[in-house]
Structure 1
Amino acid sequence: MQHRHPATPGRSASRRDSRRSVNPCVQSSSIASSVAWDAVAPVTPSAFNARQLATRPGVLTRQAALLHDVVEDGEGWTIERVERLFCPDVARAVHDLTERTGGSWAFLEQSALDHVAEMDARSLAVKTVDKLHNMRSLLASLSAAPDPSSVWESFSRGPAQTIGYARQLAEALMVRLREVGEFESLGEELLTAVDDL
């Protein structure tokens, strides 16, 4: 049950309403969390670990982090739907973070590398943390497996090409993070995680 404050004498209703007016992008954080979990939890053993961004500024960044895979992995989700339910800024970041399909691996990898140059700080931070989480998860799987080569069976490109691409992406992200002057420590952590593989 929501508690409502009674009207304060001398304060107009319009002033009360304007004080409660919240940016719709900011207002929908709990929805983003719920949507992201519902869309991603059935697909991956652990949904995107947004805790690393929780200490970073920006509600919109956290929303983008929670929703980063919703279009790829969530049935019925489109960029337009994200924009309608959240806001254009969150939709733009989710679009930046959605992996493209169609074409050869080489084409898709090069497209992803080229796209890093167009990302803003929000998208760069989320992309970097996502890849950092992926690399750490892969390392944990390799460490826990009785036969580490069995882990690589799910990677169509094999270990050398997978790690090679991860290194290229980490380096491209690091270049952009330095250019925008934010989240450089995340880029350094990602480079270290790739080296640890």
Structure 2
Amino acid sequence: MQKMADERNKNLTSPIARWIEANREAPGFTESLRKLLMYACVEWIRRGTSALLTPEEALSKIVCCCLSEFPVGEWAENPEKYTDEIADFCEKAKILPLPAALQGEIPSLLDLRGVKCPLNSVRSRIVMSGYPAGRTLKIWLDEGSPIENVPGSLIADGHKVLSREKKGDYWEISVVKSDSKV
């Protein structure tokens, strides 16, 4: 217990970590933390490519790229659980070079195999919120609850599911992003 307290105090040298600690119990903290993460994504991409993306577009692009060292999709799904990681990422995004995967167009594939329900629906909605309108995204999903739930949540948001195809031990759906601001 003391080790965790010492670690937390060590991390409080960051202004972001201090803000998190001071606002942890504030109403709207979760959404504010998610926005902080999104703006760090914007800054990271802007520094690396000079592209100006909306917070939703930047988050969508980084989540689609599935960077193992920065599981931003996981953090955005449950930001209160990952406050230290988010604070660290926000600081590093100011200086880290942009990975090659983030220097091109937004990927047209989102691999959600292994992501548990309901987080696969949450992550697919996060990606679609910043995905270019009219563009098609292929999403890979596990058998069972994911293929039953994810298409329904995307349809409820106004997107169009073009196809569902069984591919061995997983499913591939093709979804067209609606023009709505969902």
Which TM-score band (shorter chain)? 0.3 to 0.5
TM-score, length-scaled by structure 1: 0.33
Higher RCO structure (Cα 8 Å, ≥6 apart): 2
Structure with the higher strand share, 1 or 2:
2
Structure with the higher helix share, 1 or 2:
1
TM-score, length-scaled by structure 2: 0.35
